[in-house]
Amino acid sequence: QLPPGLYKKVLVILHDSILPYMNEPTLMMDFLTVAYGIGGAISLLALNGLFILIHQHNLEYPDFYKKLYSLLDPSIYHVKYRARFFHLTDLFLSSSHLPAYLVAAFIKRLARLALTAPPEALLMILPFICNLFRRHPACRVLLHRPAGPADMSEDPYVMEEEEPSESRALQSSLWEIRSLQNHYHPDVAKAAAVLNQSLSEMEDDISGLLELSAAELFDREVKKKAVDVPLEFEQVRGLFGKKNDIFAEHFSLD
């Protein structure tokens, strides 16, 4: 039993300052699996160490993707460790051997949560979703159903389902991305519109977008050069703006 603050301090440095110097890194399997099951930021930080044990020391974690799926909640786009989490999630979903229902569940859940995400997170998650479609063509059925449900209750996807295989994501469509194509931020709307076209085979590099902050996004907008828009208007004549207005004979706007 460790205090949450100490848990976080250990997990932040575990993957690069502790595991590489241990003769038997597998001794940390129980500690990391328990930390991964705690939830919240502690689970996010445990991903680094678990990745090393799974990738280099053959750790088997049957419910790993189920737990990773459960970590996707509305706060995931706002947490301090967002960049670290999505970097590792990108690695975990890079295998072409993953079943289509699993990847589709991640795509659909990310898209649903994106409806309430800030613009800086959307500029990262939309290319992230595009990369998942490039790696897993079987999931493109979500794009081939452009007509979304008339009501959210008609969407076959079950957001509350904890088991990805039971979420019915493959039977749904990405109406959430279609909604984001009308986003108030033009860069977000442009990024969402990419899915209307055929995707290129080359994956998008999201490394520079993982740590994009609201302040950086604001500075980028402020530094844009303003474009002078020519305006054409007809000078007002009369009180109500009509040319042959009878009021113009008796009233003046001067």
Q: What is the span of the domain harbouring residue 145?
A: 98-224
pLDDT at residue 148 tops 60: no
Instruction: Tell me the pLDDT tens digit for each residue of 13-35.
Output: 888 888 888 888 888 888 888 88
Instruction: Tell me the pLDDT tens digit for each residue of 191-219.
Output: 999 988 888 888 888 888 888 888 888 88
Residue 205 located in a structural domain = yes
pLDDT tier at 152 (50, 70, 90 boundaries)?
low
Residue 38 located in a structural domain = no
The span from the CA of 185 to the CA of 182, in Å, is 9
pLDDT tier at 147 (50, 70, 90 boundaries)?
low
Q: 155 or 229: which carries more pLDDT confidence?
A: 155
79: tokens are 């947490």
Residue 151 located in a structural domain = yes
Q: Which amino acid is at 115?
A: L
Residue 240 located in a structural domain = no
The span from the CA of 152 to the CA of 76, in Å, is 22
Residue 43 located in a structural domain = no
Residue 239 located in a structural domain = no
Residue 247 located in a structural domain = no
Instruction: Tell me the pLDDT tens digit for each residue of 79-106.
Output: 888 888 888 888 888 888 889 999 999 9
pTM: 0.76
Provide the pLDDT for residue 97: 83
With contact defined as beta carbons under 8 Å apart, do 109 and 72 qualify? yes
Residue 35 located in a structural domain = no
Q: What is the sign, positive or negative, of the torsion defined by CA atoms of 60, 63, 68, 71?
A: negative
Instruction: Tell me the pLDDT tens digit for each residue of 38-90.
Output: 877 788 888 888 888 887 888 777 788 888 898 888 888 888 888 888 888 88
Radius of gyration, CA atoms only, the chain: 25
pLDDT at residue 151 tops 60: no
Provide the pLDDT for residue 254: 62
Report how many domains make up the chain: 1
